Amino acid sequence: MSKPTDLVQGTVDLLILKTVALHPMHGWAIAQRIRQISENVLQVNQGALYPALHRLEQQGWIRAEWGESQNNRRAKYYSLTRAGRKYLREEEANWERLSSAIGLVLRTT
């Protein structure tokens, strides 16, 4: 297995937002989910995850609530705010544009 690709910071933000858009999730689950969905290609560095979460919360894109986890433990659940949802849509569109542009360049040369 090749080493999982390092994620640039902006990408982590986008992935987190997209992940919590489904339903409220705690930090560990967010990391797991990103890894599962990308089939182990994308691995969020755990050291970068929490500062990113706190920054996103500070910026008002996500909000945090304490809740019960599946194994009845207290966990901090993050969910998307309305502003965050809007921001996510814009960022998704940006990403689409960027990746298709890069794809275009790669295919042509």
Partner 1 sequence: MEQSTLLRWPSKILQRLRSLFLRSRVDRELDDELRFHLEQQIAEDTAAGMTPEEARSAALRKLGGVEQLKEECRDSRGVRLIQDFVQDVRYGLRMIARAPVLSLVIVAILAIGIGSGTAIYSLIDACLLHSNTYPVVERWDVVHAYSPKQKMFINYLSVPEILEVKSLTDVFEAVGAVHGDSFNLTGGEYPERILGTQVSANAISMTRVAPILGRSFTEAEDRPGGPPVVVISAELWKRRFSADPNILGQVVRLDGVAYTVIGVMPVHFNLWGGELWIPLRLNPADTNRSDRRNWIVTVLRKGVTEEAANARLAVIAKQLEQQYGTAMPEYRGWDLRVWNINEAVIGGVKPALLVLAFVVSLLLLIMCGNVAVLLLARGTARMREVAVRLALGAGPRRILRQMLTESLVLSVTGGALGVCAACGCLPVLVRLIPEEWLPTAPELVRINPAVLAVAAGIAIAMGALFGIVPAWQASRQNLVASLKEGGSKIGGDRAGRSARNLMAVAEIALSLVVLAGAALMVESYRRLEGIDLGFRPDHLLRFSISLPETKYPRPEQIAEFCDRALDSIASLPGVESAAVTSGQPMIDRTEDLTSWEFTIEGRPAQDARGDESANFRTVSPSYFRTMAIRLLQGRMFSVQDGRNAPRTVVISDTMARLYWPKGDAVGHRISLGQQFGRRDAYTGAATHDTPLEIVGVVSDVRQTRLLEAPVRPEFYLPLDQQESAPRIMAVIVRSTSDPTQLTPAIRKAIASVDTEQPIYDVSTMDEVVADSFGPKRLTLFLLVFLGSTALLLSSAGLYALVAYSVSHRRHEIGIRLAVGAQPSHIRRLVLLQGVRLAALGVAAGLGATLAAARLMQGILYGVSAYDPLTLVCVAGALIASALLACYFPARSAVRVDPMAVLRSE
Question: C-beta of 84: minimal distance to partner 1 in Å?
Answer: 9
Q: Are 63 and 78 in contact (CB under 8 A)?
A: yes
**Cα gap 57→71, rounded to integer Å:** 25
In the DSSP assignment, the letter for residue 6 is: P
Closest CB 21 distance from partner 1, rounded Å: 15
Lookup: tokens for 9: 């910071």
39 versus 90: smaller Cβ distance to partner 1:
90
Nearer to partner 1, 2 or 58 (CB): 58
**Residues engaged in binding partner 1 (CB under 8 A):** 26-28, 45-47, 50-52, 54-55, 57-61, 63, 66, 69, 71, 73-76, 81-83, 86-87, 90
CB of 2 to partner 1, least distance (A): 19
CB 35 within 8 A of CB 42: yes
Distance, in Å, from the CA atom of 99 to the CA atom of 10, rounded to the nearest integer, reads 14
Q: Indicate the residue among 58 and 108 with the shorter CB distance to partner 1.
A: 58
